Amino acid sequence: MFGESGLPPPYHPPVKRSVEIAGHKTSISLEPLFWDLLRQAADAEGVPLNALVARIDAERIGAAVPPGLAGAVRLWLTARLLAAAGAGF
């Protein structure tokens, strides 16, 4: 079913996928919308998806209170969208 925008609704259970960070595999569960946004971000930055996730992982580890990796990816993507929209936070 499609919403008023003509796009499928963003509500979908998380999908678990494997990524490689610093030579080891780990899995992340993200909703398909976030997987799509992550792929778009990696393409826009000209880096492989694994490299982008590794960069987000390194940034989150440096936080005072590091979130989990999936949460860090969601937060990073949201911050990126807000920055692109010119919204400060």
* 34-47 pLDDT per residue, tens: 999 999 999 999 99
CA distance 56 to 21: 10
**Beta carbons within 8 Å of 81's beta carbon, 6+ residues apart:** 37
User: Do 30 and 14 meet the contact criterion of CB atoms below 8 Å apart?
Assistant: yes
47 lies in a domain?
yes
34 lies in a domain?
yes
Convert the pLDDT of each residue in 3-27 to its tens digit: 566 666 678 889 999 999 988 999 9
Q: What percent of the chain has pLDDT over 90?
A: 76
pLDDT given at position 22: 85
Domain CATH code at residue 77: 1.10.3990.20
Structure tokens at 60: 């989150």
Which pTM was predicted?
0.84
51 lies in a domain?
yes
Provide the domain count of the chain.
1
Tell me which residue range forms the domain holding 72.
Answer: 15-84
Q: SS3 of 24, please?
A: strand
